[in-house]
Amino acid sequence: MITVVITGASAGVGRATARAFARRYGGDAAIGLIARGVDGLEAARREVEQEGGRALVLPVDVADAAQIDAAAQRVERELGPIDVWINNAMVSVFSPVKELQPDEVKRVTEVTYLGVVYGTLAALERMLPRDRGTIVQVGSALAYRGIPLQAAYCGAKHAIQGFTESLRCELLHDGSGVHVTMVNLPAMNTPQFDWVKSRLPRAPQPVPPIYQPEIAADAIVWAAEHRRRELSVGMTTVAVIWGNKIAAPLGDRYLARTGYDAQQTHEPADPTRPDNLWHPLPGDHGAHGRFASRSTTRSPQTWINEHLPAIAMALAGGALLWRAAASRKA
């Protein structure tokens, strides 16, 4: 039996992750589903149950610490001790910094960053006395490299990365059996681009290349089962993180030239389109966005990343065999 809590579980990556855990563990899966939108949560519950698992719908705003703690209490009371807690909930605003409003930045920070802090605190309160459990922070390439038009979101993701590093050091200092890991994602084909608050003249889109949310979901499940410090999903994530370490000024100039157009389609923005910054939108929006025809369902880089120790051992063994064969010929 495994008890998992997923924030942002009603749509996008969180929705795909709920399905992935249910598919992986079947009748042994008990999943607490946290989000604001009840319609999406109920649909996620049905999908978990179709795979044989149990699910608990928890309509919660992760920006409220008391709501998060109460949800954790209910999960443990109705589903059992929490084994895995996944912090995934987010909101964003597409806007130049000069046009951002203070309350918008506050809201993005409260959901995307403080929601992770509150979820982590709720998980630690229950995991530390048992000396076991895993906390998965769903990060992003944008936790390491800010891009134009998403300053509030990038700032929140950077904050998650710093917070998680501090926590990791403290857990190591205490010799704790609780593990924290961060899964950094590339651009994903999720519904967020249809409901994110935007001031762009054209409709927002993920920066290509675009990955289907199941790739992220499978990586999150893998990270929950392995004690890896961090996992980067997709070659673009690796390129962005390392490119920023090596040549950040070049990245600044490149994004200044390309970052605006890359985040917009050719369609004009709909000024009447509702957004989910302050309230969830009604209906079930599922895991996928509208960019399926431009999205990939495979990530060889992620597979290689997950199997690095085995690959390294195989390469080392091959090198030893080659040297032995070469020495015999000599």
Rounded distance between C-alpha atoms, residue 265 and residue 271, angstroms: 15
Cβ pair 92, 64 in contact under 8 A: no
- Catalytic residue chosen out of the listed positions 25, 118, 153, 211: 153
Angle ∠(246,228,28) on CA atoms, nearest 5 = 145
Rounded distance between C-alpha atoms, residue 33 and residue 48, angstroms: 10
Residue 139 token pair: 């990060």
Contacting residues for 60 by C-beta, under 8 A, at least 6 apart: 7, 34, 35, 36, 67, 68, 70, 71
Rounded distance between C-alpha atoms, residue 191 and residue 13, angstroms: 10
Cβ pair 3, 75 in contact under 8 A: yes
Task: State how beta strands 2-7 and 295-296 pair.
Answer: unpaired
* C-alpha distances out from residue 134 to 61, 86, 161, 224, Å: 22, 8, 16, 6
Cβ pair 153, 200 in contact under 8 A: no
Q: Where are the beta strands (DSSP E) in the chain?
A: 2-7, 29-35, 54-59, 84-87, 93-94, 134-140, 179-185, 197-198, 202-204, 210-211, 230-232, 264-268, 295-296
Q: Kindly report the backbone phi and psi dihedral angles of residue 139, in degrees, each rounded to the nearest multiple of 5, phi listed first.
A: -100, -155
* C-alpha distances out from residue 229 to 3, 131, 223, 282, Å: 21, 18, 9, 37
Rounded distance between C-alpha atoms, residue 155 and residue 105, angstroms: 9
Q: Is 260 among the residues known to form the active site?
A: no
Cβ pair 219, 233 in contact under 8 A: yes
Catalytic residues: 153
